[in-house]
Amino acid sequence: MRDLIEKWKAERERKAFLALEDGTVFDGVAFGAKVDAVGEVVFNTGMCGYQEILTDPSYAGQFVTLTYPEIGNYGTNPDDVESRGLWLNGLIIGELNEPSNWRSTQSLADYLTAAGKPGIYGVDTRALTEHLRDHGNMKSYLHVEACVVRNGRGGTPSCQPAIPSGGLSPSEGIAKARAWEGLDGQDYAAKVTCSTPYQFMGTDPAKSGKSGDRPQLEKIIVYDFGVKSNILRSLRSSGFEVWVVPAKTSAEDVLAMKPDGVFLSNGPADPAAVTYAIENIRKILGIVPMMGICLGHQLLALACGAKTGRLKFGHHGCNHPVKNLKTGAVEITSQNHNFTVLPETLPDCLEVTHVNLNDGSIEGVRHKTLPAFSVQYHPESCPGPHDSGYLFAEFRRMMQGARHET
């Protein structure tokens, strides 16, 4: 009887496939929302932190392949989110597990379903990752095949095969992947940013001690191109009064708020397409100190005259080695980006401060004469190691130095 029940359960599972634009197809089993989707396939090498990945706005427009094989063990909970929603277009994993952690309030499958995001498991994620490493990230189509289960007498489960309903052929999926516009030249920052300015209170860096002993907080304006919650928490913990503004807020409006510094956040897709941000950064440079990370790093470089281009398969994970050229220290970093600052286009006003030890790409720059610097990776590291947390303190020292000079 148990064998019959297990077979019936297997027949109830929805079939699915992932069709790549180059004609490659990967089969699997659908979970999450019962919707088809199009997106760019990337792979993430982190061993944990899938809920933070799901809620990272930088993954907007992408299917994320998790290279770690067992996913879902610790479920999901409302405390580990990094933004107000799920932004990736779909999730690709090897094995899907039910949660067994005391912090879990919802399974991964139910979490995706509630958010309207599709997933596929049972995929050979090693083969998919190797394919992307060889050929680069590419456009793809995720198809979920609805199935109707036949019932036996009296409504009991039947061992007859499920009947495909509304199926799509792999060749049609490949055609849909090729027809999609992709992420090149697309401004996704405008899609994920907040709608109105707000003050982030979060962790109070001076919640202990008498009010007269509390440190003065430098006021910073965070441009939200897809900011993560732990970036804001890290800034608060580093002694900042944090205000967040939408991506298209003008430089004039930002400066009217009289900030001590401006922070350029992470975000998705192609930095060269976020032209309004590049112009605003140019207007602010030199007036107040500036720090950027991820997309913000690329936008700062573009504002200074550099150009950006695609990496073959991007950097996605929480285990990427980066060398600090000033100290010689190697930091293990959290990263999520497909584009990079092209070294041959770097203007004389910028110097390289950090490099990626895997491929030699630029991971950090500093302006030679103005108070501005940026890094390609995520110093807030959620998920990930905390090797780079010192950068927030460095930003604060830069602002304090600028204040003394005036």
pLDDT in tens, 100-124: 999 999 999 999 999 999 999 999 9
How much is the average pLDDT of 251-278? Answer: 97
Q: Does domain 2-179 have CATH number 3.40.50.720?
A: no
State the pLDDT at residue 336: 92
71-92 pLDDT, tens per residue? 999 999 999 899 999 999 999 9
Contact between residue 234 and residue 380 where contact means Cβ atoms under 8 Å apart: yes
Non-local (6+) Cβ contacts of 209 within 8 A are none
Fold of 189-405: Rossmann fold (3.40.50)
pLDDT interval class at 161 (50, 70, 90): very low
State the pLDDT at residue 406: 55
165-200 pLDDT, tens per residue? 357 999 999 999 999 999 999 999 999 999 999 999
State the pLDDT at residue 400: 79
What residue spans define the domains of the chain?
A: 2-179, 189-405
- Other CB atoms within 10 Å distance of the CB of residue 178: 17
State the pLDDT at residue 165: 38
- Pairing between β-strand 95-96 and β-strand 138-148 as defined by DSSP bridges: unpaired
Contact between residue 82 and residue 292 where contact means Cβ atoms under 8 Å apart: no
Asked whether the predicted pLDDT for residue 212 surpasses 70, the reply is no
State the pLDDT at residue 217: 80
Q: Which residues pair with 165 in a beta bridge?
A: 146
**Of 42 and 207, the one with more pLDDT:** 42
State the pLDDT at residue 5: 45
The pair of three-digit structure tokens given for residue 242, joined into one six-digit string: 């944090």
7-53 pLDDT, tens per residue? 445 545 678 999 999 999 999 999 999 999 999 999 999 988 999 99
Distance CA 167, CA 75 (A): 30
Distance CA 33, CA 89 (A): 11
Supply the mean pLDDT for the chain.
88
How much is the average pLDDT of 136-164? Answer: 54
State the pLDDT at residue 157: 28
306-352 pLDDT, tens per residue? 999 999 999 999 889 999 999 999 999 989 999 999 999 999 999 99
State the pLDDT at residue 159: 25
State the pLDDT at residue 206: 44
Query: pTM of the entire structure?
Result: 0.89
Asked whether the predicted pLDDT for residue 203 surpasses 70, the reply is no
User: Which amino acids are annotated catalytic?
Assistant: 294, 378, 380
State the pLDDT at residue 10: 52
Residues 311, 316, 317, 323, CA torsion sign: positive
